[in-house]
Amino acid sequence: MIELKTPAEIDKMAVTGRFIAKTLAELTSIAEPGMDIMHLEKTARKLIDDAGAKSCYWDYAPSFGSGPFRNVICLSVNDGVLHGKPHSYVLKDGDLLTLDFAVSIDGWVADAARSTVVGNGSEEDQRLIDTTWAGLEAGIGAAQAGNRLGDISKAIGDVADSHRIPVNLDFGGHGLGHTMHEDPHVPNRGKGGRGLVLKPGLTLAIEPWWSFTSKKLTVDKDGWTLRLADGSNGAHSENTIAITEDGPRILTTLD
């Protein structure tokens, strides 16, 4: 079921979104070569506690994972592109790190992801990150009241196609509100003019993710971390937005 939110409810989701954006900015700023990524997990836990927030990941046990997930943030490194389960790993110069973070505050959820190069990385990895961000911006731009869900997917897919990037359709964006994963599913490629009509009050997490060379995934022994099958690096950019009469409103932002 899809629940449209009131402007007041969207404002509450924006409070959660600002906390998420602030947390991701802080964590990416401190990630450096020589740091164990469990420090990022522990820092995220403290920030959640200090804010009176609730992790959407802790004890999460969906069908696609080997649950329960006993961490508060997904940390994926290099070819690990999605659902990275934090474990002891020391970051190296040039690693591509993705942080995916969702919490609820006062019962309202927001979700966002950022990829960053740790230390001195390659121009190719930065270009990869930039393409996911371009896909995110294109998808948000298409999230106009009266458009259809397929318009968002097409806008994201067009960016991927312009770089000859293969797109996996198993995992994509989603609705959210009181819980982290709600209808509808938002694929990262699709046909314009198809699907659900976008109405004011619809809230979505839009999240392009990909690598330059593969869309096939393998699952780590932890039952969660998804890696690119060819060992290539992956990147992931995500924001929570609301459809409004005045255009899309980004909720996971510091602005």
Which residues contribute to the annotated binding site for a divalent metal cation?
100, 111, 174, 207, 238
- Tell me the H-state helices in the chain: 7-30, 38-51, 123-141, 149-162
Contacts of 71 (CB under 8 A, 6+ apart): 41, 57, 58, 85, 86
Contacts of 232 (CB under 8 A, 6+ apart): 79, 211, 212, 213, 214
Structure-token match 């003019």, residue found: 193
On whether the CB atoms of residues 136 and 188 are closer than 8 A, the answer is no
Return binding residues.
Answer: 83, 100, 111, 174, 181, 207, 238
**76 alpha carbon, distance to own chain's centre:** 12
Partner residues linked to 248 by β-bridges: 243
On whether the CB atoms of residues 135 and 158 are closer than 8 A, the answer is no
| Spatial separation of the C-alpha atoms in residues 11 and 32, rounded to whole Å | 34
Return binding residues for substrate.
Answer: 83, 181
